[in-house]
Amino acid sequence: MGRGGGRRRGAPARTLVKPILLLATGAVAGVVLWRVLMLEPPPARVGVERLTDHDRHALDGLLHERSVRP
């Protein structure tokens, strides 16, 4: 009287697959999030003003005057 047609002992496959799938999904999401936050350069800001050398020099002069005066 062996184990011919009886039920298989042990955990069903779905109880092993779901935790592994969740772990793998979390690992992939973590790697993608880390890559986006740490490795990708920040997007360029739209509408940032760029000063010419002459304007930068004039602005530095004005700021220096204001910092010298009380």
Res 68 pLDDT > 70: no
Is residue 30, in this structure, part of any structural domain at all?
yes
Task: Kindly report, residue by residue over 7-63, the tens digit of the pLDDT.
Answer: 667 777 778 899 999 999 999 999 999 988 888 776 666 666 788 999 999 989 888
Global pTM value: 0.44
What's the total number of domains in the chain? Answer: 1
Residue 67 lies in a domain: no
Domain span including residue 16: 12-39
In a domain, 63, yes or no: no
pLDDT of residue 13: 77
Considering the domain boundaries, does residue 51 fall inside one? no
Please tell me the predicted confidence (pLDDT) of residue 45: 67
DSSP 1-70: --SSSSPPPS--HHHHHHHHHHHHHHHHHHHHHHIIIIISPPPPPTT-----HHHHHHHHHHHHHHHH--
Is 27 among the domain residues? yes
